[in-house]
A = this chain, B = another copy of it.
């Protein structure tokens, strides 16, 4: 289990991607050429605070495979892994 708790409506995501090997054997970075991206939900924030004082529910849970789009997602490196922090509103769909 990762020791990171996302805040507000942030979702912690471990990116997933098929590595692409070019003819010359060079491995292109994952997701370099495809947008939006795909990843596994690792941790979920409490949700966005609404003006009526309650929180908007988060529609994803740990383990979900999500597609998301974000121009420049924030990265957190911990224990040798690179996580992305994405807002709930940047999530597009859950893949089942």
Interface, chain A (partner B; CB < 8 A): 3-8, 10, 12, 35-36, 43, 46, 48-54, 56-57, 59-60, 66-67, 69, 74-76, 78, 85, 88-89, 91-96
Contacts of A54 in B (CB 8 A): 53
Q: Once bound together, how far apart are the Cα atoms of A78 and B54, in whole Å?
A: 36
User: Taking the full assembly, how many copies of this chain does it contain?
Assistant: 7
Contacts of A48 in B (CB 8 A): 49
Contacts of A52 in B (CB 8 A): 50-53
Closest residue of chain B to A96 (Cβ to Cβ) is B3
Q: Once bound together, how far apart are the Cα atoms of A85 and B92, in whole Å?
A: 7
Closest residue of chain B to A64 (Cβ to Cβ) is B5
